[in-house]
Structure 1
Amino acid sequence: MRTTKQLLGAVSALALVAMSSAPALAAGTSAGDTITNNVSVSFDVGGVAQNAATASDIFTVDARINVTVASNDTGNVTATPGGTQNVLSFDVTNLSNETVDFDLTASYQGGTGTDANIDEENALFFLDGGDGIYNFGQAGSDDVQVTFLDEMAEDETRTVFVVSTVTSSAVDGETFQIALTADAHQAGATGLGAEIEATSGGNNVNAIDFVLADGTGVGGAEVGNNEGDFAAIGTLEVAGAVVTVAKSSRLISDPVNGTTNPKAIPGATVEYCITVANAAGAATATDVDVTDDLPFDVSYEASFGIFVNGDELCTNGAAGGSFSEGTGPSGEDQVLGDLLDVEAGQTRSLYFRVVID
């Protein structure tokens, strides 16, 4: 415990300047410190100096509880439909003149997406290991999972990552505003201490009173000033692939007419064309696998083969893919093929031929 003493009396202008130029931290004098003020009065009796009369006043510095939360993200953060690693970054700063625990909660605050497509109630919190980058679970990472911030010192700032799940129902371009709220609790106990509440009644000069001095953040569980909590918002924006699939067929030849105006009769050759398109501005579709179940009344034409990564007209493809006999859900033959990544505004195709039985 520190003690500050001040002697009342003549103070030079130089001393006043020196006192006013000392740097001030946001927290100020620590709660629990005592401030002692001594006074001395000198006097004479019959021209003879007497012993000075002295007095002292001592009081305990109270706790001014204050906290801020700020988003570290510039603009919206990309989220993936069905993804569980959608990360928002926040700084929590203890502006109190007391060491404080802070409870953490995440809440949905709006956006173009619906609350049903974001699982913020089960969001996970991770304390940054010092590099400002979420890399929990990776080799060399010092990030740790937490449920609250333990024993935050005066003027200390910690970076917290809020990691949430976006459902697979979320579509490209939807936004989700997520608030991180930090709520002040008493430090010193094992685990999260009791929530700090403002001390009512008059000032107790011999004990620490609590004064809640926080401002109003944005959204979250807080409702206004002087509530002991603060919130800030980060925004997730879904970047999903908008994939459409089309399948068409064209007659190549038949046993009677050849390639001149062929008809769909037994023995005719038919070319199937499967196109996979991704909308402009969407996220790239990766690991694109095509599985085509052949009707029972056609036979795969192995002499033509399978072509993949063709254009939207099913031309200019490269030989690839595979034929799998009887592996369909009802025993159908299957044509399988892997396409390259389909970027925004791009179309890739797979095509092959069959003969009508």
Structure 2
Amino acid sequence: MTLRSTFVSAGALAAALLAATPAFAAGTTAGSSINNTATLNYSVGGVAQTAVSSNTATFVVDRKISMTLTEPGNATTSVSPGAVNQVTTFLLTNTSNAALDFGLALAQPAGGTAAHGGTDNFDVTVPTFWINTGPSVGSATYDPANSTPVTYIDELAADATKYIFVLATVPITRVSGDVAGVTLTAQARASGTAGTQGAVVTETAGANTAAMDTVFADAAGATDAARDGQISARDDYTVSAATLTITKTSKVISDPQNGTTNPKLIPGAVVEYCIQVANAAGGATAQAPSVSDVVPAQTTYDATFGIKLNGTVTAGVCNADGTTGGTYTAGTTTVSGTLSDVAAGATRTLYFRATIN
């Protein structure tokens, strides 16, 4: 009798099974069962006999927990004092071999070097987490019209990504150069029920079990350690403010006795008031600054000359290059006007004339 046997290798069978399983970067989906059956072929007296199959060897693929959290763009968020809904952006990628929920937490350091330089010296207020929805799903740009607030990331599939937008308010008292650092942490949680945050995932202790075990494989984040089931990343807000000064000067233009030649400040003299609005270098542009000034009771506003806006200054002296605009309110004897935007290092003026009573 001749005995001849052929075995189908476990590796070949596993490869065939994997070919029918979705391929994820982190490997076969956690909880999958991998089944393996061997086949024995033989002959007796040169006659092929009925093949014999082995029992089926089965094991369950364990869950590997890993994820990344990055800050797209790698730049600070420039903000103005008092600004609301200021955005920092993070990108969460689930590199696990299973869908997961992710709890979200934001920390603000007390001092120290911020993510993009400078020293953290204040905290933003009322921070909230948002994700884009509808047509803006997957966009790296926050879309207020298509977004929703969240407290955790729900049912993030293996290999899937989610942009997380942190919105916060900047205190009105902050000045140029102030920096607020923020640290976002995403904590791996069990998935399963959409709309419900799962429990914090824990790593399986001890030897491998027949069930789906859990292994932490995440790298260290900005403030967390490797293999701790969470990931963190840092970003910051840097204040860019306009630093405005306002200066008012006056000069005599003419008087009834001397005209415009060496005029003196006597009754009937015409006085020109100039209000200078200057923005210090290195700050943000001051947009549409509005100026108001009450004409002194001892003088009468010169309606014929009117109000001139957006003039320039040379060596601290106003130039007569403004354009007519502004408003005079007789009831309150108030001169007012809105200037053009004042860029850093620039000066704009409002000037008018009055006659001494």
Q: Structure 2-normalised TM-score?
A: 0.81
1:176-255 equivalences under 5 Å are 176-189=180-193, 190-205=195-210, 207-219=211-223, 223-255=224-256
Question: Do the aligned residues in 1 keep the contact of 2:326 with 2:336 (CA within 8 Å)?
Answer: yes
Aligned: 1:169 with 2:173: yes
Ranges in structure 2 where 5+ consecutive residues have no aligned partner: 1-5
Q: Deviations over 1:62-110 (max 9, x none)?
A: 2111111111124333222211132222211111111101112233345
Instruction: Tell me the SS of whatever aligns to 1:122.
Output: strand
The 1:105–1:243 alpha-carbon spacing in structure 2 relative to 1, beyond 3 Å, is: same
The 1:26–1:92 alpha-carbon spacing in structure 2 relative to 1, beyond 3 Å, is: same
What residue number does 1:4 align with? none
Deviation of residue 180 (structure 1)? 2.3
> Identity across aligned pairs (percent)?
38
What residue number does 1:318 align with? 323
Coordinate RMSD, CA, aligned:
3.3
Aligned residues between the structures: 331
The 1:113–1:86 alpha-carbon spacing in structure 2 relative to 1, beyond 3 Å, is: farther
The 1:36–1:307 alpha-carbon spacing in structure 2 relative to 1, beyond 3 Å, is: same
What residue number does 1:288 align with? 289
Aligned: 1:355 with 2:355: yes
2:182 aligned partner, one-letter code: I
The 1:117–1:307 alpha-carbon spacing in structure 2 relative to 1, beyond 3 Å, is: farther
* CA distance in 1: counterparts of 2:53 and 2:345, whole angstroms: 90
Question: Do the aligned residues in 2 keep the contact of 1:108 with 1:115 (CA within 8 Å)?
Answer: no
* CA distance in 1: counterparts of 2:263 and 2:120, whole angstroms: 52
* CA distance in 2: counterparts of 1:320 and 1:355, whole angstroms: 20
* CA distance in 2: counterparts of 1:103 and 1:115, whole angstroms: 27
* CA distance in 1: counterparts of 2:266 and 2:123, whole angstroms: 50
Ranges in structure 1 where 5+ consecutive residues have no aligned partner: 1-7, 328-332
Question: Do the aligned residues in 1 keep the contact of 2:308 with 2:352 (CA within 8 Å)?
Answer: yes
Candidates 120, 129, 132, aligned match of 1:124: 129
Question: Do the aligned residues in 2 keep the contact of 1:125 with 1:161 (CA within 8 Å)?
Answer: yes
1:133 aligned partner, one-letter code: T
The 1:278–1:52 alpha-carbon spacing in structure 2 relative to 1, beyond 3 Å, is: same
Question: Do the aligned residues in 1 keep the contact of 2:10 with 2:36 (CA within 8 Å)?
Answer: no
Deviation of residue 231 (structure 1)? 1.6
The 1:117–1:242 alpha-carbon spacing in structure 2 relative to 1, beyond 3 Å, is: farther
The 1:100–1:274 alpha-carbon spacing in structure 2 relative to 1, beyond 3 Å, is: same
Q: Structure 1-normalised TM-score?
A: 0.81
Question: Do the aligned residues in 1 keep the contact of 2:120 with 2:181 (CA within 8 Å)?
Answer: no
What residue number does 2:144 align with? 136
Question: Do the aligned residues in 2 keep the contact of 1:34 with 1:59 (CA within 8 Å)?
Answer: yes
